[in-house]
A = this chain, B = another copy of it.
Amino acid sequence: MKLYQKLANELRNHIQQGYFQMGDKMPSVRQLASQHDVSISTVQEAYRHLEMESLVEAKPKSGYFATPNTNNHSLPEISRPPQRPMEVSQWEQVLTLLINKDDKENIQLQHAMPNMESSSLKPLLKKLSDLTKHNISDSLTYGDVKGALVLREQLCRLALGFGCHLHPNDLVVTSGCQEALSVCLRAVAEAGEIIAIESPSFYGSIQAIKAANLKAIEIPTHPVTGLSLEALELALDQWPIKAILVTPTCNNPFGYTMPDENKQKLYKLAQSYDISIIEDDIYGDISYQFPRPKTIKTFDEDGRVMFCSSFSKTLAPGLRVGWIAPGRYRDKVTHIKYVSNSMCPTLPQLAIADFIKTGGYDRHIRRSRQEYRQARDHFIQTLNKYFPAETKISFPEGSFLLWIELPKHIDVVKLGQVSQQNGINIAPGTLFSATGKYRHCMRLNFSEKDMRAREDGVRKLAFLINQQEEELKQVSP
């Protein structure tokens, strides 16, 4: 870790622990340089990063002032799903969500789509356009079943950023992270076997479990520290679980990042029960922390972690470029990838490899991190302003998704139907469970560029929630 990073981390901790409150003057540059025995420019670099994270702001001729996030809302509680393996249901609802996308006039708060209007994406699009013009023949033939080598090399470079030393030969490029997860599940488990997942969990993973004829056991999950290791251990004692599928960094939908210590403990637990881990890191690069958090794969000693990621949330989902570092399952994963669809289209892979190599990816991530963080703070303020006082809201440390728990009597499935007719699409909580729990919850995104539309959507949603409450009162006065 570089000196400025160390210093920035220290200052960040001080702000987050409340030593510096909103508007407090921060230590001067000279003072810190002298205290920590580092150069002036090192301190300036540290402050520049905290500024990008919106934790401080600079005032001309006065220095830096703290602007901590006001996380003063109630967080959701740890989940309590039934502790036995279940058949997955809810597909009809997921399909409805997917189809609603055509509803283009509506405010789209339901999907996990990144902001794709950022100017920092332009060099990538330019490259893609150039390749289509000048290298079209590369897009016509079958490419390597494992994906373009130039991209796999760049993926290894990215992986160094979270402490993983991978080799291009050990990677398999996939058609998005959805394919990565689906292939890994098929590589690791056979029909009827049990997969442990977080609860709530991404519906795409849950439905992939269903499609592979597997069963899911949902493990209690804490909105700040993630999967409960104690609950997982109890489940491992009781059931012949084959693998754990987790999103420990910038979790979807809860937003937490599991502490490094817990990631390592989870790995050790998998080792002692000799099971595999499928790690979904799709949002990992847009953690608000810099450098980005470590992964479970970082601690992998024996290849039992199958690491899955993609550029769908960092760049654009339509590119359909994801990847797997499958560890000891490499051969089986390659086979399943081949039979699934032979290989991935080549040009998007070449364009992304170039974008990473020339520094465009880092620049874009830096910018996204800052934008999403600001959007989160604004969105939470908006929700606090309009939603019922008892509402619990997650506090994501990355990505652009929020989890909301409304009062228990609110039916969000019904709310979603009404809100859709009123121009707002939402993702009801039931999608995020194998068996339709979380009916009073929803997931919303804050990635759409238009803050006003978002605020408008929240206001209307609040009105509809209120309407539902009134109706309930009339039924049972």
CB distance B111 to A137 under 8 Å? Answer: no
CB distance A336 to B191 under 8 Å? Answer: no
The reply to whether the CB of A239 lies closer than 8 angstroms to some CB of chain B is no
Closest to A206 in B: B339
Q: Which residues of chain B have C-beta atoms less than 8 A from A125's C-beta?
A: 136
Q: Which of A248-256, A341-349, A402-410 lies at the binding interface? A: A341-349
| Binary interface encoding of chain A residues 155-196 relative to chain B, with 1 for a CB under 8 A from any of its CBs, else 0 | 000000000000000000011101100100010001100000
Report the bound CA distance from A102 to B94 in whole Å.
Answer: 41
Instruction: Report how many copies the assembly holds.
Output: 2
Q: Which residues of chain B have C-beta atoms less than 8 A from A143's C-beta?
A: 318
CB distance B348 to A345 under 8 Å? Answer: yes
Q: Choose from B191, B204, B211, B317 the contact partner of A213 (Cβ within 8 Å).
A: B191
Interface SS of A by simple majority: helix
CB distance A178 to B342 under 8 Å? Answer: yes
Contact residues of A between 311 and 342, Cβ < 8 Å to B: 316-320, 334-336, 338-342
Q: Which residues of chain B have C-beta atoms less than 8 A from A204's C-beta?
A: 338-339, 342
Q: Which residues of chain B have C-beta atoms less than 8 A from A102's C-beta?
A: 144
Q: Choose from B137, B317, B334, B335 the contact partner of A116 (Cβ within 8 Å).
A: B137
Q: Which residues of chain B have C-beta atoms less than 8 A from A317's C-beta?
A: 140-142, 342
- A: number of interface residues (CB 8 Å): 58
Q: Which residues of chain B have C-beta atoms less than 8 A from A420's C-beta?
A: none
CB distance A113 to B98 under 8 Å? Answer: no
Closest to A332 in B: B211
Known contacts A98-B145, A204-B342, A213-B190, A140 near B91 by CB under 8 Å: no
Contact residues of A between 202 and 246, Cβ < 8 Å to B: 204, 207-208, 210-211, 213
- What is the CB-to-nearest-CB distance from A443 to chain B, in angstroms, rounded to a whole number? 16
Q: Which of A8-16, A50-58, A126-134, A428-436 lies at the binding interface? A: A126-134
The reply to whether the CB of A95 lies closer than 8 angstroms to some CB of chain B is yes
Q: Choose from B113, B116, B182 the contact partner of A339 (Cβ within 8 Å).
A: B182
Report the bound CA distance from A476 to B186 in whole Å.
Answer: 48
Known contacts A113-B142, A191-B191, A318-B142, A340 near B340 by CB under 8 Å: yes
9 residue pairs, one from A and one from B, having the closest CB atoms: A140-B316, A175-B341, A179-B341, A132-B132, A208-B339, A211-B339, A191-B191, A140-B318, A178-B342
Q: List 8 A-B contacts (CB under 8 A).
A: A95-B334, A101-B142, A111-B142, A141-B316, A178-B340, A191-B213, A211-B336, A345-B345
